[in-house]
Amino acid sequence: MSVSQAAGMLKQAEDILILTHRRPDGDTTGCAGALCRGLRQIGKTAYVLPNSEITRRYAPLIDGLYPPESWQPRFVVTTDIADFNLFPDNALMYQDRVDLVIDHHRSNPGIGRMNLIRPEAGACAEIVYDVMMALGITFTEGIARCIYVAASTDTGCFKYSNTVPHTLRVAAACLETGLDGGEINRELFEVKSWPRFQMERIIFDTMRFFHDKKIALATLYRKDINRVGADMDDLDAIAALPRQIDGVQAGLTLTENEDGSVKASVRTTKEIDASAICRKCGGGGHLRAGGASFPPDVDMPQAIQLILQAAEEVYQESRI
């Protein structure tokens, strides 16, 4: 559907609930926070469903936007959610009730009754911005902060290849509200907690390389995460580190969850499709960034073999 059609749906909707995905990043959280504030600005009753996995870095974007305990939605929107397996546990009841999907993942099959999916967008924030403009919402500094964080985090501070001209136009609109983009960039991309510094050291010390250093593998074991006291906020965007090594085309990061299961994060250069690697492991994502979660019975050694096999296959296919 078009932006104007999505705006028309929201204009007619009442009692709107906005959902974010598991392990919420800046894009899903910022989009939800901006859209909720914008809808309230035009007189709508709107809330964001609480997400237990929200980190301290992004929690302020949706603080104060949670629904009262007895409230029930009549219209459900998702922001930056590509598949039902990304629904938090408390959102599973809404799987069959999603009225509008706003997303930029090309792997999204269209999980809602109506779907606004634009894979060419660098961040879902760009689409939410366009919808809000179509609704006539005034772009306040509070809304701008949500959109700026969403756009900047999903594009690596606008340096990843998914950054497109519209991404920068949206960022410029944010700065025109008086937002201090430089300070936000410093907080998001430069300042490191002590646990984060230690986790980065572990990654660089233990990273392994394959195919003449074209593929890099980093593993984060739970014992090391717990030892340094790292939380989800400290691990945010850590998957980008292996790809920083000169010559690496596919950076694979495996993280052991608290329950012993393993998740994979893949970041690639223009030569390799990250989502293709992740699809072989039951996941998906974008051309340069993807992810997958392995079944509970797959331990770290097995996950290493599976992700390396998938990367090997895609790497070989890319050379044909």
In percent, the amount of the chain with pLDDT more than 70 equals 100
Q: Is a pLDDT exceeding 90 seen at residue 161?
A: no
For range 103-122, the mean pLDDT? 95
**18-31 pLDDT tens trace:** 999 998 999 999 99
Measured CA distances, 212 to 209, 216, 249, 270 (Å): 7, 10, 11, 17
pLDDT score recorded for residue 232: 86
φ, ψ of residue 48 to 5 degrees: the values are: -110, 130
CB within 8 Å of 149: residues ≥ 6 apart = 26, 29, 30, 58, 61, 184, 188
Lowest mean pLDDT among 43-52, 76-85, 254-263, 281-290: 281-290
d(C-alpha 186, C-alpha 192), whole Å = 10
pLDDT score recorded for residue 319: 76
Q: How confident is the model at residue 287 (pLDDT cuts 50, 70, 90)?
A: confident
d(C-alpha 232, C-alpha 67), whole Å = 24
Counted residue by residue, the chain has a size of 320
Phi-psi region of 15 (alpha: psi -120 to 50; beta: other; left: phi over 0): left
Across all residues in the chain, what is the average pLDDT?
95
pLDDT score recorded for residue 284: 85
Q: How confident is the model at residue 67 (pLDDT cuts 50, 70, 90)?
A: very high
**178-227 pLDDT tens trace:** 999 999 999 999 999 999 999 999 999 999 999 999 999 999 999 999 99
Q: How confident is the model at residue 43 (pLDDT cuts 50, 70, 90)?
A: very high
- Residue 316 CB neighbour total at 10 angstroms: 10
Q: Is a pLDDT exceeding 90 seen at residue 107?
A: no
Q: How confident is the model at residue 320 (pLDDT cuts 50, 70, 90)?
A: low
For range 60-89, the mean pLDDT? 96
pLDDT score recorded for residue 210: 94
For range 93-117, the mean pLDDT? 95
φ, ψ of residue 193 to 5 degrees: the values are: -75, 165
- HSE, side-chain direction, 13 A CA sphere, residue 221: 10
Q: Do 274 and 286 meet the contact criterion of CB atoms below 8 Å apart?
A: yes
For range 287-304, the mean pLDDT? 93
**251-274 pLDDT tens trace:** 999 999 999 999 999 999 988 999
pLDDT score recorded for residue 79: 98
Q: How confident is the model at residue 236 (pLDDT cuts 50, 70, 90)?
A: confident
